[in-house]
Amino acid sequence: MKILERKFRGVYEIDLEPRADHRGFFMRVYDDKLFGEKGLHRQWVQENHSLSVARGVVRGMHFQFPPHAETKLVRCVRGEILDAFIDLRKGSPTFGKWDALVLSADNKKVLYLPKGFAHGFCTITENCEVTYKVDSYYAPQSEGIIRWNDPEVGIDWPVREPQLSDKDAKAPGIREFIEKHKGLDV
């Protein structure tokens, strides 16, 4: 596997390298030693799996406040998604900026996202399954959310009228988050 740092400090794109033959393929999706050499080792405490049956489903932009902030290791195991994230780390030179990465069963990429980011994704195909590991237990009282289409952030989503949960549809914008919290101390 290849671990490549993205434009935001601490965010990595991981390219998995399947070994194929006439039977199919085998690939390593996590290597504790290799992650440790890059300073990315975490004690993963939960693994989550979601299914979105329709194209154009948006889930996000979610995060947890400290002390329950999460590092995530995200992978699309079926279908294709645009995985997006917003830097909410107080004092970060990329604070309030976003980036995205296409994750799919075909491209076999994994996203390593450190604490301090709002995270979400949009399904590009039907029947998308996404798995992700986290290094902190889910704490509903620490949950935060930023509006998926906040014009101040300006994420370039592949859909204009997505299917959303009620919670995601009613999320506040980044300006409200900044006025109230100033950013995340992670």
DSSP three-state, residue 109: strand
User: What is d(CA 124, CA 76) in angstroms, rounded to the nearest whole number?
Assistant: 11
**Catalytically annotated residue among 68, 112, 119, 132:** 132
Q: Is 126 exposed, middle or buried (0-12, 13-18, 19+ CB in 10 A)?
A: middle
Beta carbons within 8 Å of 78's beta carbon, 6+ residues apart? 105, 127, 128, 129
**Catalytically annotated residue among 62, 68, 112, 119:** 62
68 tagged catalytic: no
132 tagged catalytic: yes
Q: Other CB atoms closer than 10 Å to residue 145's CB: what's the count?
A: 18
- The set of catalytic residues is 62, 132
